[in-house]
């Protein structure tokens, strides 16, 4: 689960991490009181969406967002197109010392769309703006190590995540903050330092001082940086995070290290023991169909193709998507979704799965691929028949049932009187569903 | 050479489990009971269940004990299978490790990742091997089935099957069977990012196993276990004929595909990287899941 930057910063502050003061604004009427509360003479106005790349992102009207999306496939293309057509009303993040401008920016941003390289082609609607006090950036005295000879702001990178290989929490840190860390990792991996935490003892300060001194921070900066890491580690473990990332953490003129941006993702498997985390969920950021699927215990990811898939098991579901693309690529047929009904789906879940798939108007055919281990084929077949009748499924349905009670399952489909195309193997299913989507069978 | 953790049998007949394996079920709820019963019907020695407060009772003809240690002392069991809910899985695994079982198979899906971080640290230096969590289990056909896989699709033979995914394992077994080959053992290692046993551990066992002549391995997007497995296979002196399939060639980056582990993050863990790693060392990769059987036949004639 993902949360907004303003929520992440509230969490960090609770754990003693230094963050700039800020006020979240969801209505333009509240801008004045927010500025009043913050005081000072420099403000940062940050659009709140669940995606990165906001600083270089573009604010556009919903109409223009749709227009651009119709000709672009990715967020990256869309950002370029917006620039080309000069449709941008503002950036995702604005720094200003002009009070009136804070107000006008908030008015521009709220209700419009922010398109970044991470949002996808249509961008995301902005429903909240975070206004924070400005922090004076200073230049890094040793300059950029990534681009030798160039100046850079004194910005650090720090992130925590679980490393699959060691099975431990890994802390990654670099003096080359502010940029995309993948660039650092790719071009100069020695500038990205890593330590792994033994869960028996937790984060130890000496390990933090080791990386802080490797990063050539001065003693006061080191102390502040170690405190930051300690806070982030406590957030990570106390709340079952999957990623805690601060990029950048800035070093101030007073040698303090402050989290200027923050991102926290939580482990969905652990939400059951963190109702306070669950409360931070912003369901407007999540795909409606994905949420509906989640309620039914289904795992669903919408894609851009035209063949719906209903499969049991995540691996088989991915393999089914791959199969559709392989058979259909040349004729413009590709999967419309990932959908795993799970191991023990009941009739109602199968029906819910159909209704979710059918919400997507692009779907021209549906492939059901079930390998009934524990899930019995006759139960799946009953679910298919009930759904097809109740929902009035109009698109062709290709069904492959294998495993326990397959004979009974196939008989139920055959006797249903519905137009269901049976398939005997994955290869057969792939070929048939592509033909069905093309209207050839 | 020291035997790998959890491989009890000396006679090189299959890996991890065989007809002598005695199994305890931890978590005798509805799911645990159903599968304990089905495994027992398959012929597995399902000797006991653990259900706190139920010592002295029986479920489906299996005696219940309060703890794993009690169940082991009374029955001589050496393996446990876990169906307890996600929040209790960490404790259940630790209990089995403390009871010094050889092998623990955690079927439970949805275990918090940080719980597994603790478990993996706790298990270090112990005699116990963990498989899973979030896995279908392990089967040595006609001898021992532990887990939720449909028993009837398997038959005894000489192809080892290992996989990160559940139903896709069944698909692979099915196709291997349709080509006329049985299986020595089939191992589902599970789809979570932090797990007890990885591809390399099982490949080592299959390469050392006298019954296994060829291996089918099913990987998926996310992480780099497949790339590491390819590196391991390349330099292994007892390398056997192998075919691979990697699921998730069409998965978009940044989207979690069901399994907690199946996600392309930061440009890493793509299917094409994994396929390239195997093709580089001469291991054929099935183009689609429909071609797994054919890929095996291209390197192994039985």
For every residue of chain A, which 3-state class applies, written as one string?
Answer: CECCHHHHHHHHHHCCCCCCCEEEECCHHHHHHHHHHHCCCCEEEEECCCCCCHHHCEEECHHHHHHHHHHCCCHHHHHHHHHHCCCCCEECEEEECCHHHHHHHHHHHCCCEEECCCCCCCCEECCCEEEEECCCCCECCCCCCCCCCCCCECEEEEEEEEECCCCEEEEEEECCCCCCHHHHHHHCHHHCEEEEECCCCCCCHHHHHHHHHHCCCCHHHHHHHHHHHHHHHHHHHHCCEEEEEEEEEEECCCCCEEECCCEEEECHHHHHHCHHHHCCCCHHHCCHHHHHHHHCCCEEEECCCCEEEEECCHHHHHHHHHHHHHHHHHHCCCECEEEECCCCCCHHHHHHHHHHHHCCCCCCEEEEEEEECCCCHHHHHHHHHHHHHHHCCCCCEEEEEEECCHHHHHHHHHHCCCCEEEECCHHHHHHHHHHHHCCCC
What are the pLDDT digits (tens) for B233-258?
Answer: 999 999 999 999 999 999 988 788 88
**Chain A residues whose beta carbon lies within 8 Å of the beta carbon of residue B154:** none
Across the interface, whether the CB atoms of B260 and A268 are under 8 A apart is answered: yes
Containing H/E element for B167?
helix B167-178
Please report residues of B whose CB lies closer than 8 A to that of A374.
34-35, 148, 150
Tell me the chain A residues in contact with residue B168 when contact means C-beta distances shorter than 8 Å: 313, 315-316, 319
As a whole number of angstroms, the distance between CA B101 and CA B78 comes to: 5
The whole-number pLDDT of residue B10 equals 46
CA-based nearest residue to B171, from B265, B41, B289:
B289
Q: Which residues of B touch A402 (CB under 8 A)?
A: 171, 174
User: How many angstroms separate the CA atoms of A402 and B178, rounded?
Assistant: 13
B298: DSSP letter: T
The phi and psi torsions of A246 (rounded to 5 degrees) equal -120, 110
Query: Could you tell me if B30 lies within 8 Å of chain A, comparing CB atoms?
Result: no
Q: Which of A155, A245, A300, A402 is catalytic?
A: A245
Query: Averaged over A223-233, what is the pLDDT?
Result: 98
For residue range A295-338, what is the model confidence (pLDDT) as tens digits? 898 999 999 899 999 999 999 999 999 999 999 999 999 999 99
Nearest CA in chain B to A1: B256
E strand map for B234-285 = 242-247
Q: Is B114 on the interface with A (CB under 8 A)?
A: yes
B128 and B102 Cβ atoms separated by less than 8 Å: yes
Number of Cβ within 10 Å of residue A274's Cβ equals 18
Across the interface, of A198, A199, A371, the residue whose CB is closest to B170 is: A371
Nearest CA to A329 out of A437, A184, A196 is that of A437
Would you call A165 an interface residue with chain B, using a CB distance cutoff of 8 Å? yes
Q: What is the pLDDT of residue A29?
A: 93
Partner-chain contact B193 A162, CB within 8 Å: yes
* Sheet hosting strand A397-403, strand order edge to edge: A299-302, A337-340, A307-311, A365-372, A397-403, A420-423
Q: Token pair of A350, please? A: 């199968």
φ, ψ dihedrals at B49, nearest 5°: -125, 155
The residue of B136, B165, B250, B275 whose CB has the most chain A CBs within 10 angstroms, and thus the best one to mutate to test that interface, is B250
Q: Is B167 on the interface with A (CB under 8 A)?
A: yes
Q: Do B290 and A430 touch (CB under 8 A)?
A: yes
Per residue in A331-360, pLDDT (tens digit) is: 999 999 999 998 667 888 888 999 999 999
pLDDT value at residue B4: 54
Q: State the residue for tokens 């058979």.
A: A327
Number of Cβ pairs < 8 A linking chain A and chain B: 181
CA–CA distance, A124 with A138 (Å, rounded to integer)? 32
Show the tokens assigned to A341: 């009904």
Sign of CA dihedral A201, A204, A210, A216: positive
Per-residue pLDDT, B66: 97
CB contact (8 A) between residue B257 and residue A338: yes
Catalytic residue among B35, B154, B158, B259: B259
Return the pLDDT at A16: 96
- Chain B residues whose CB is inside 8 A of the A318 CB are 220-221, 247-248, 250-251, 257-258, 262
Let me know if B154 is a catalytic residue.
no
Which residues of chain B, if any, have pLDDT below 50?
1-3, 8-12
**ipTM tops 0.85:** yes
pTM above 0.90, yes or no: yes
Taking CB atoms and an 8 Å limit, are B289 and A426 in contact across chains? yes
Mean pLDDT of chain A: 93
Contact residues, chain A, for B86 at CB < 8 Å = 269, 272
Across the interface, which of A269, A273, A343 has its CB nearest the CB of B166? Answer: A343
Model confidence at A116, pLDDT cuts 50, 70, 90, reads very high
pLDDT score at B5 = 61
Q: In what order do the strands lie in the sheet with B22-26?
A: B58-59, B62-65, B45-50, B22-26, B79-82, B103-106, B129-131
Q: Is the pLDDT of residue A423 over 80?
A: yes
Residues of A in contact with B193 (CB under 8 A): 162, 164
Q: Please, which residues 216-245 of chain A have a Cβ atom closer than 8 Å to chain B?
A: 237, 240, 242
| Enclosing H/E stretch for B286 | none
**A262-281 pLDDT per residue, tens:** 999 999 999 999 999 999 99
Q: Given CA atoms A78, A55, A25, A285 in this order, what sign does their dihedral have?
A: positive
For the segment A34-72, what is each residue's pLDDT rounded down to a tens digit? 999 999 999 999 999 998 889 899 999 999 999 998 888
């Amino acid at each position: 689960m993902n949360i907004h930057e303003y929520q992440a910063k509230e969490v960090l502050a609770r754990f003693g991490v230094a963050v700039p003061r800020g006020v979240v604004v969801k209505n333009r009427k509240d801008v004045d009181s927010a500025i009043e509360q913050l005081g000072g003479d420099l403000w940062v106005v940050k659009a709140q969406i669940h995606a990165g790349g906001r600083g270089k992102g573009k604010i556009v009207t919903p109409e223009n967002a749709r227009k651009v999306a119709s000709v672009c496939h990715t967020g990256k293309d869309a950002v370029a197109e917006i620039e080309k057509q000069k449709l941008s009303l503002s950036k995702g993040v604005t720094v200003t010392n002009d009070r009136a401008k804070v107000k006008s920016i908030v008015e521009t941003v709220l209700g419009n769309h922010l398109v970044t390289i991470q949002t996808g082609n249509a961008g995301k609607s902005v429903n909240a703006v975070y206004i924070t006090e400005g922090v004076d950036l200073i230049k890094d005295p040793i300059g950029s190590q990534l681009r030798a000879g160039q100046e850079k702001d004194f910005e650090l990178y720090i992130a925590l995540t679980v490393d699959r290989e060691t099975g431990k929490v890994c802390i990654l840190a670099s003096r080359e903050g502010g940029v995309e860390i993948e660039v650092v990792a790719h071009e100069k991996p020695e500038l990205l330092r890593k330590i792994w935490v033994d869960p028996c003892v937790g984060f130890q300060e000496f390990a933090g001082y080791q990386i802080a001194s490797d990063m050539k921070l001065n003693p006061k900066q080191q102390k502040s940086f170690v405190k930051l890491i300690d806070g982030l580690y406590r957030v990570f473990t106390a709340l079952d995070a999957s990623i805690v990332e601060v990029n950048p953490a800035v070093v101030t003129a007073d040698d303090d290290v402050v989290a200027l941006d923050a991102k926290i993702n939580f482990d969905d498997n652990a939400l059951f023991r963190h109702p306070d985390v669950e409360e931070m969920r912003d369901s407007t950021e999540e795909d409606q169909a994905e949420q509906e699927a989640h309620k039914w215990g289904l795992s669903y990811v919408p894609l851009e193709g035209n063949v719906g898939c209903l499969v049991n098991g995540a691996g088989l579901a991915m393999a089914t998507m791959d199969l559709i693309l392989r058979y259909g690529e040349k004729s413009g047929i590709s999967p419309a979704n990932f959908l795993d009904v799970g191991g023990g789906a009941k009739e109602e879940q199968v029906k819910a799965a159909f209704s979710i798939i059918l919400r997507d108007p692009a779907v021209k055919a549906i492939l059901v691929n079930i390998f009934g281990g524990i899930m019995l084929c006759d139960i799946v077949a009953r679910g298919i028949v009930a759904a097809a009748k109740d929902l009035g499924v109009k698109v062709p349905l290709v069904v492959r049932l294998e495993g326990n009670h397959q004979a009974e399952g196939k008989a139920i489909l055959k006797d249903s009187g519905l137009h269901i195309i049976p398939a005997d193997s994955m290869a057969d299913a792939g070929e048939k569903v592509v033909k069905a989507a093309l209207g050839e069978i | 050479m020291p035997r790998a953790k959890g491989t009890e049998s000396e006679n090189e007949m299959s890996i991890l489990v065989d007809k002598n394996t005695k199994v305890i079920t931890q978590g005798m709820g509805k799911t645990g009971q159903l599968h304990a019963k089905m495994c027992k019907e398959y012929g597995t020695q399902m000797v006991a269940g653990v259900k706190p407060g139920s010592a002295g009772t029986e479920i489906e003809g299996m005696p219940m004990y309060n703890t794993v240690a009690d169940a082991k002392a009374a029955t001589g069991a050496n393996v446990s299978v876990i169906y307890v809910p996600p929040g209790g899985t960490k404790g259940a695994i630790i209990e089995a490790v403390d009871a010094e079982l050889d092998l623990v198979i955690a079927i439970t899906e949805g275990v918090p990742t940080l719980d597994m971080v603790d478990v993996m640290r706790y298990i270090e230096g112990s005699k116990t091997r963990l498989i899973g969590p979030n896995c279908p289990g392990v089967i040595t056909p006609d001898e021992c089935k532990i887990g939720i896989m449909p028993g009837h699709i398997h038959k005894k033979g000489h192809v080892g099957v290992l996989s990160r995914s559940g139903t896709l394992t069944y698909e692979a077994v099915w196709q291997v069977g349709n080509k006329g080959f049985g299986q020595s053992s089939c191992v589902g290692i599970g789809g979570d990012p932090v797990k007890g046993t990885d591809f390399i551990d099982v490949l080592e066992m299959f390469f050392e196993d006298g019954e296994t002549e060829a291996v089918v391995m099913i990987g998926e997007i996310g992480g780099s276990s497949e790339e590491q497995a390819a590196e391991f296979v390349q330099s292994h002196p007892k390398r056997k004929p192998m075919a691979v399939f990697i699921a998730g060639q069409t998965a978009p980056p940044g989207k979690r595909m069901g399994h907690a582990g199946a996600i392309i993050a930061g440009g890493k863990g793509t299917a094409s990287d994994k396929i390239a790693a195997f093709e580089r060392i001469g291991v054929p990769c099935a183009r689609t899941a429909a071609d797994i059987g054919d890929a095996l036949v291209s390197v192994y004639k039985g």
